[in-house]
Structure 1
Amino acid sequence: MTLREVTDGPAVVACNTCRFSADARDDAADVRGGARLVEALRAVQAEPGYDGVAVQEMPCLFACQDFCTVHLRAPGKVGYVLGRFEPSAEAARAILDYALLYAESDAGQVPYRSWPAGVKGHFITRTPPAGFIVE
């Protein structure tokens, strides 16, 4: 394993090797679901208003049962792993809409009433930032 340094700001880190779905590894064109989700995230991020959150990718977030997973992170904020997404533009938009709210928050907590519908039910874990725990 080799680590590569990236920008240390709000980011959605997408698993580019995730399964396409619970039942299929690849789509009809033999492309992994994670790679498709990265494509969708980058397409949405290219639209105006989404430049406040980086889209980064890496192989395997070790959440294989929860296909199409992303890790939402920012310095000094609680991080989240979300999964079970369809690799679609709608899912990408919901993830990035939530990520913008997350980036604006003080510690990474976004009020539930503000969550885009497309992320509800997709949270897998939350992780404390280095040097902190949640009270």
Structure 2
Amino acid sequence: MDFLSLTIGFLVGTATGAAGTYFGNKYTDIRKAKEYKTVEELFYKKLWSEHEKLLSEMKSDLTNPDFSYHREFYVLSKSWMFNASGPHLSYYLEDHDSLEQQLKSLVGKGLIVDVTEFGKSVTKYQFTDKFVEHLKVVN
């Protein structure tokens, strides 16, 4: 074997290996992205079937121009006296079955965060940006 043939064989083999790795990774990433999207769609579909009334109200609130940038909300009872400065989002215990348990479920799924202030008797939550994005775009 001469040196030229050996060099050409090495370069062709290296190029073939690099191209194979590149295309293998590219198409694997595309497949994984499709799988992730499918899993995410199933997650939100199940979520809506479990919490349709609450999520519909949240969507309505967040698509309202007056509340489009609000991220925090309170859990209240209609019989309570509540004084807050300015407009705020609130969801009432009387309007939703097991509201506190539904909210705990959303916390567990990472969609909202409990941000209740120490020493306060009113529970306060915050929407995650990903959840807000989902609520605003869902049909």
* TM-score after normalising by structure 1: 0.26
Structure of greater relative contact order (alpha carbons < 8 Å, 6+ residues apart): 1
Q: If each structure's helix is expressed as a fraction of its own residues, which one has the higher value?
A: 2
> Which has more radius of gyration?
2
